[in-house]
Amino acid sequence: MTRLFLIAGALLMSLPATAQDKPEWTLVIHGGAGVMERGKMTPEREAAVRKALDASLEAGSKLLATGGSALDAVEAAVKVLEDDPNFNAGRGAVFTYEGTNELDASIMDGSTRKAGAVAGVTRSKNPISLARRVMEDSPHVMLAGKGADQFSAEKGLEQVDPSYFATEERRRQLETLKAQKTSWFDVDRKFGTVGAVAMDARGHVAAATSTGGMTGKRWGRIGDSPVIGAGTYADDRACAVSATGAGEYFIREGVAHEICARVRFKGERLKAAADVVMAETKALGGTGGVILTGPTGEMAWSFNTPGMYRGKVSAGGKKTVAIYGDED
């Protein structure tokens, strides 16, 4: 009998920590990456951002703690950030060169690998909810522009006047860009895209991402956020990823899918896979970050910028909200 107990104990000790300590559910969020430095952040701005990140975690974790799905949780978490003008998504989205707000979003269910995305929408209060309706109520994966706006109205999603998304701070950034003929990144020095990834009590994962794009974007430019495999990806066989950064480079690298592929086929831990892919993206010239979670309950993030608005929480675990690179 003693021998059996010893064998059982040895087997237990040999199991990976993720199998022994797997939480019932997990949630990780981001509100953009970039030059977030203590000396350049007012106390009021920092407090507002931390409060919003906390509220986003609360919205998603409340659903997960009561048996809700990962898909419901990431949508709820992202909606909170879309409604907050401190982020470049929904209300508070940046302006195009022509002075309009054009919004992009995507969502993916890791259990079925169904996905929905929208690009260049102008009237849906919460673009992430529209992306989900594309996934669930249409035969398509991505809708854009006027067609996406029409679909949104037909499905009864909350519509707003385009002026709802505009803020004076974002208008100032556009005017600065035009007056100084500077680059879009130099205006704000960060990517305000928002996103969430989650694992629910059934072990399913999901990912969601929403953005207003880049200040002064032209010609109907679309970045990585609505591109499945670049800015968003979820697969129960690997992990869920939401990205924020220089979209053109994230598309070229296929960042979100590339990370999931390394986890699935090479067996890499989430942080290790993300670090490799983010290094490759930086080598191309792209900066930004990613958040991740997987069916093992592992949570991670990786970014190659000075900071990233981010947060995480799990069942029975400590809630973390962070901004700067030296926080964790």
What confidence score (pLDDT) does residue 41 get? 82
What confidence score (pLDDT) does residue 190 get? 60
Euclidean distance between CA atoms 105 and 207, whole angstroms: 11
What confidence score (pLDDT) does residue 155 get? 97
The residue among 31, 12, 153 whose CA lies nearest residue 82 is 31
- Contact criterion met (CB below 8 Å) for 223 and 276: no
Catalytic residues: 193
**Could you give all domains of the chain from N- to C-terminal order, each with its CATH number?**
22-104+161-324 (3.60.20.30)
One-letter identity of residue 13: M
Using a 10 angstrom Cβ sphere, with 0-12 exposed, 13-18 middle and 19 or more buried, the burial of residue 292 is buried
- Contact criterion met (CB below 8 Å) for 49 and 38: no
The residue among 229, 203, 219 whose CA lies nearest residue 290 is 229
**What is the block-wise mean pLDDT of the chain (328 residues), using blocks of 10 residues?**
39 42 96 83 92 98 98 98 96 94 98 98 98 98 98 98 95 88 55 92 98 92 97 98 95 98 98 98 95 98 95 96 90
What confidence score (pLDDT) does residue 145 get? 97
Instruction: Quickly tell me which residue has 């970045």 as its tokens.
Output: 223
pTM: 0.92
What confidence score (pLDDT) does residue 189 get? 53
The residue among 117, 78, 112, 111 whose CA lies nearest residue 229 is 117
